[in-house]
C-alpha cells in the first residue's frame, strides 16, 4: 500500500520539484533585492526537502533490489553523496591555495578545515538532535561498536594530526583516505551480519521483497534527487549569507554557522525523510557523514594541496573541543539503552545553541 501511495504521489512531487527549480532560476535571473533573496531562500528549502525525499526513496529501492543493507547504503552512497558540499569546499580551497598561496593570518585551507569540523559539529548536535526530536531512533549494538566508534576516532585522529605540526600534508591525507577505504571494505565483508541486524530492528513482519521499477527511472531519481539536494543547499547557503551580510553580521560568524549548517542541510533533509521510512538510512547517513568528512573529505583536500592551519584561537579553543565533546556525548546517549530519546535530542540541540552563544561572544558580535 505504501508503494502504491508513493507511486501515485510521484507525478505530483515531480511537478512541485520542476516548479520550485524554475522558480529559483527565475528569481536568480531577476534583479537582486533583499525580498527576492528571501523568496529564493524559501523556495530552495522546499526544493531541498522534495529532492531529498526523491533520493531516499530511490536508494531504498536499490538496497532492497540487491538485498543490501539500508544501513550500508546510508553509510556509503548516501553519506558520500551528502558530503559532496564539504568535499567541493575543501578541493576548491586547496586549489585556491595552490594557485595563489596564503599567509598564516589568512589561508583558504583554514576555511576548508573549519568547515569539516563545523559540519561534524552541526550534524552530530543540531541535525541529529532535530531528527531525534521528531523521530526517536533505535540503534543496534554492533552499529555503535563499529561505526559509532570509528566516527569518534576519526575526529580524534584528525585532531591529533593537526596538533602535531598545525598542518596536514599529502601523506597524512593519503592515510586518512586509506583508513576510509579500509572501512568500506570492512562494511562489504560484514554485509550479511549487518543485514541480519537491520531485519531484527525492523521486525519479522517487514516485507523485504525486491521492488520492481524501471532501471532508468531509478537511476534518474538517484542522480537528480542528490544533485538537486546539493544544488538547492548551495543556493540556500548563498541566500542566507546574502541576508546575513545585509543585516551586518560579521563574516567570521557567517562562516562558522551559516556555511557549516548549509553544507549539512543535505544530511538533515535526507535523515529527516529517511527517519520516517528507514532507520538504517537515517542513522547511516548521520554517522556515515561524520566518518566521511574527517577522513575522506579532508583527506582529498590534503591530497590536492597540503592544508596549512593559521593561528585561530576560536578554532583551537572552541570549535575543536565542542566537536569532540558533542560527538562523545552523542555516543554516550546511544550506548545507554541503544535508543535515542527525544529528550536526548533536545540536549544535543541545546549543546549547539550553547556553542553558537559562545561563538557570538568570542566573535564580539554583541
Range of the domain at 268: 2-362
Question: Which of the given ranges, 47-51, 109-113, 331-335, has the highest pLDDT on average?
Answer: 331-335
pLDDT confidence band for 206 (50 / 70 / 90): very low
Query: Of 55, 76, 59, which Cα lies nearest the Cα of 224?
Result: 55
Question: Which of the given ranges, 102-116, 136-150, 250-264, 341-355, has the highest pLDDT on average?
Answer: 341-355
Q: Which neighbouring-strand residues pair with 138?
A: 339
Supply angle C-alpha 346, 349, 353, rounded to 5. Answer: 130
| Grid coordinates given for 170 | 599529502
pLDDT for residue 188: 81
DSSP 297-326: IHHHHHHHS-EE----HHIIIIIHHHHHHH
Q: What is the pLDDT of residues 236-289, one digit of tens each?
A: 777 876 777 777 665 556 666 777 787 777 777 777 776 766 565 667 777 888
The domain tally of the chain equals 1
Q: What mean pLDDT comes out for the span 293-301? A: 90
d(CA 154, CA 146) in angstroms, rounded, equals 12
Using only C-alpha atoms, the chain has a radius of gyration, in whole angstroms, of 20
pLDDT for residue 178: 95
Query: Of 341, 66, 33, which Cα lies nearest the Cα of 210?
Result: 66
Per-chain mean pLDDT for the chain = 78
pLDDT confidence band for 295 (50 / 70 / 90): very high
pLDDT for residue 177: 94
Query: What is the phi/psi pair of residue 53, to 5°?
Result: -65, -40
Q: What is the CATH number of the domain that holds 153?
A: 1.20.1420.30
pLDDT confidence band for 327 (50 / 70 / 90): very high
Exposed/middle/buried for 364, CB within 10 Å: 0-12, 13-18, 19+? Answer: exposed
Neighbours of 299 (CB within 10 A): 28
Q: What mean pLDDT comes out for the span 191-201? A: 66
Query: What is the phi/psi pair of residue 36, to 5°?
Result: -65, -35
Q: What is the pLDDT of residues 172-190, one digit of tens each?
A: 999 999 999 998 888 888 7
pLDDT above 90 as % of the chain: 14
**What is the torsion angle, in degrees rounded to the nearest 10, for the CA atoms of residue 355, residue 356, residue 357 and residue 361?**
100
Q: What is the pLDDT of residues 156-176, one digit of tens each?
A: 999 999 888 878 889 999 999
**H or E element, residue 340:** strand 339-340
| More confident site: 129 or 136 | 129
pLDDT for residue 205: 44
pLDDT for residue 272: 77
Amino acid at each position: 500500500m505504501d508503494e502504491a501511495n508513493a507511486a501515485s504521489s510521484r507525478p505530483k512531487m515531480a511537478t512541485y520539484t520542476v516548479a520550485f527549480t524554475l522558480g529559483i532560476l527565475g528569481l536568480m535571473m531577476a534583479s537582486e533585492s533583499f525580498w527576492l533573496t528571501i523568496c529564493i531562500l524559501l523556495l530552495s528549502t522546499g526544493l531541498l526537502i522534495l529532492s531529498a525525499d526523491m533520493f531516499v526513496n530511490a536508494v531504498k529501492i536499490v538496497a532492497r533490489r540487491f538485498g543490501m543493507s539500508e544501513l550500508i547504503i546510508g553509510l556509503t552512497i548516501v553519506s558520500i553523496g551528502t558530503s559532496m558540499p564539504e568535499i567541493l569546499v575543501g578541493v576548491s580551497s586547496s586549489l585556491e591555495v595552490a594557485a595563489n598561496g596564503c599567509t598564516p593570518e589568512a589561508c583558504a585551507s583554514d576555511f576548508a578545515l573549519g568547515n569539516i569540523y563545523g559540519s561534524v559539529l552541526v550534524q552530530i548536535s543540531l541535525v541529529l538532535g532535530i531528527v531525534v526530536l521528531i523521530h526517536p531512533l533505535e540503534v543496534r549494538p554492533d552499529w555503535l561498536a563499529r561505526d559509532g566508534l570509528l566516527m569518534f576516532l576519526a575526529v580524534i585522529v584528525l585532531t591529533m594530526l593537526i596538533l602535531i605540526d598545525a598542518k596536514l600534508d599529502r601523506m597524512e591525507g593519503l592515510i586518512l583516505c586509506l583508513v576510509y577505504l579500509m572501512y568500506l571494505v570492512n562494511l562489504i565483508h560484514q554485509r550479511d551480519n549487518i543485514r541480519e541486524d537491520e531485519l531484527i530492528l525492523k521486525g519479522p513482519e517487514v516485507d523485504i521483497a525486491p521492488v520492481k521499477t524501471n532501471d532508468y527511472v531509478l537511476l534518474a531519481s538517484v542522480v537528480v534527487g542528490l544533485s538537486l539536494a546539493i544544488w538547492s543547499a548551495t543556493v540556500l547557503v548563498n541566500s542566507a549569507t546574502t541576508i546575513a551580510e545585509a543585516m551586518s553580521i560579521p563574516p567570521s560568524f557567517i562562516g562558522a554557522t551559516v556555511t557549516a549548517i548549509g553544507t549539512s542541510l543535505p544530511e538533515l533533509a535526507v535523515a529527516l525523510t529517511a527517519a520516517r521510512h528507514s532507520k538504517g538510512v537515517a542513522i547511516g547517513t548521520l554517522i556515515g557523514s561524520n566518518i566521511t568528512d574527517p577522513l575522506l573529505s579532508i583527506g582529498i583536500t590534503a591530497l590536492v594541496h597540503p592544508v596549512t592551519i593559521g593561528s585561530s584561537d576560536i578554532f583551537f579553543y572552541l570549535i575543536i573541543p565542542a566537536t569532540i565533546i558533542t560527538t562523545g556525548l552523542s555516543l554516550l546517549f546511544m550506548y545507554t539503552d541503544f535508543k535515542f530519546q527525544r529528550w536526548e535530542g533536545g540536549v544535543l540541540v541545546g549543546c549547539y545553541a550553547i556553542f553558537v552563544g559562545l561563538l557570538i561572544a568570542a566573535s564580539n558580535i554583541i
